[in-house]
Amino acid sequence: MSERNFIACDLGAESGRVILGNLSGGKLTYEEIHRFPTGASRIGGSLRWNMLRIFEELKKGLRKVADTGKPLASVSVDSWGVDYVLFNAKQPMLMIPHHYRDSRTDKVYDAAIEKAGDEKIFSETGLQFMSINTLFQLVSELEENPELLEIADNFLNIADYVNYLFSGAVKEEQSNASTTQIYNPVTRDWSKELINVFGFPEKIFPEIVPSGTVIGKLLPEIQDETKLPEIDVVATCSHDTGAAVAAVPAEGEDWAYLSSGTWSLIGVELPSPLINADVRAHNFTNEGGFGGTTRFLKNIVGLWLLQESRRAWINDGNELDYATIMTMAEESEPFRSLIDPRDPRFVAPPNMPEAIASYCRESGQVAPETPGQIARCVLESLALLYHGTLGEIEKLTGRTINRLHIVGGGSQGKLLNQLAANATGRTVIAGPVEATAIGNILIQAIALGDLDSLGALRDVVKASFPIEKYEPLEQAKWQEAIERFENLKITQ
């Protein structure tokens, strides 16, 4: 295999990175070239993404890549799903894009479901019901800003929008489209039924392309600004979880994945969508994966609970880093207090530690007081939630899950990895950490002919990156904790 270099632009809810990957001799190496915060801004009573700043930071990263002098093959962008940008031929951005945690969808969510019917929406999309989904954002747009939809030529989700800015090609990649709840995973196209029910203008829905599609060349103006050559722009898996799952170093069918970060996305890889009443009742989702696969998963709260707790501690003058927090959690008493991370109070509380403490008091438990106790409570509760979710997956799919692959930033947390093994009673395999960027890079390699399949991609991952295994411990104690978790009740 000849040497090739690929650029992955990986946008996350907290930070964005430009990463340069080198594929040579069947192995991948990479280096982070540029990192920057992506955090949202509050303006006019709403929560928005500063897309212009994000775009400028990405170009800054591309200039740094050009400065390396290395020969380059292509570039691709991945990001979180659901959020979008509206634009037309004259205006590259018609509004500052909303953040998925903006409250605007709260006002339309229930009425929108009632209008179309939850059975109809689910049968059309197979997607988990969440108020953050693009469907409900567009319903809100139609009610509050119909004039924007009238003058818009297109909408694109975030990563595909940046790929458009790089290439001029208006293409929505399949994995990203599948997060919108306006995409039909059976026909692999937009749901005309839902577009008609809600009265969305058909003109704004762009062509959907398969994961791993070369959509064009880097525009001359981007070449001039960044000093990059006319390289290919590839729509890999534009949705970051799709890219991460492609990079899971797994084989066979007895495994599940957990993409661990701000969110916990836990599921299995299926050959086709699984859409039925039981799946709808358990609120699972069918999202697009590389090679026409389906990511059958549930999107549940993840390290957001810890991230927001840390933010509150820092605001109080307690400058704790994550390493210190993990040490404090490890030293804290096990099973002192538990929470149900799915409780609505944890979605966007003004003070996460107080929200956690109030839940514990209201459920008849002793409230955690120190950062270590709060962190231990969060991690044990997440691990117990993983246990329950894996049980649901086995029931719905008929599969037996023996291994849980944890990828993403959360896979660095040795304590949470061990707690997950203990709670689930399954072997946990942690790594690679940068699964999203790795998947992005190696799907580019497939698109350009350097690799020939998803299996070959995973072989490169296995050959290139170490993994850590965690076996279940203290099963009797954890069985007691499982029963306690399942019986949590708010009494006030």
Q: How far is CA 84 from the centre of its chain?
A: 15
Strands 4-11 and 15-24: antiparallel
**Which of 10, 83, 240, 340 is an active site residue?**
240
Q: 226 vs 16, 146, 232, 411, CA distance in Å? A: 17, 37, 14, 33
- The C-alpha atoms of residue 263 and residue 112 are separated, in whole angstroms, by 25
DSSP assignment of 158-170: HHHHHHHHHH---
Alpha helices in 268-365 (DSSP H): 277-281, 304-315, 322-331, 352-362
Query: Is 240 designated active site?
Result: yes
∠ CA(458), CA(295), CA(247), 5° rounding? 20
Classify residue 114 as exposed, middle or buried by CB count within 10 Å of its CB (0-12, 13-18, 19+).
Answer: exposed
Q: Residue 478: CB partners within 8 Å, gap ≥ 6?
A: 422, 423, 425, 472
- For 407, list phi and psi in degrees, rounded to 5: -125, 170
Q: In terms of Cα–Cα distance, which of 249, 238, 271 is closest to 447?
A: 238
- Number of Cα atoms under 13 Å in the Cβ half of residue 278: 8
Catalytic residues, by residue number, are 240
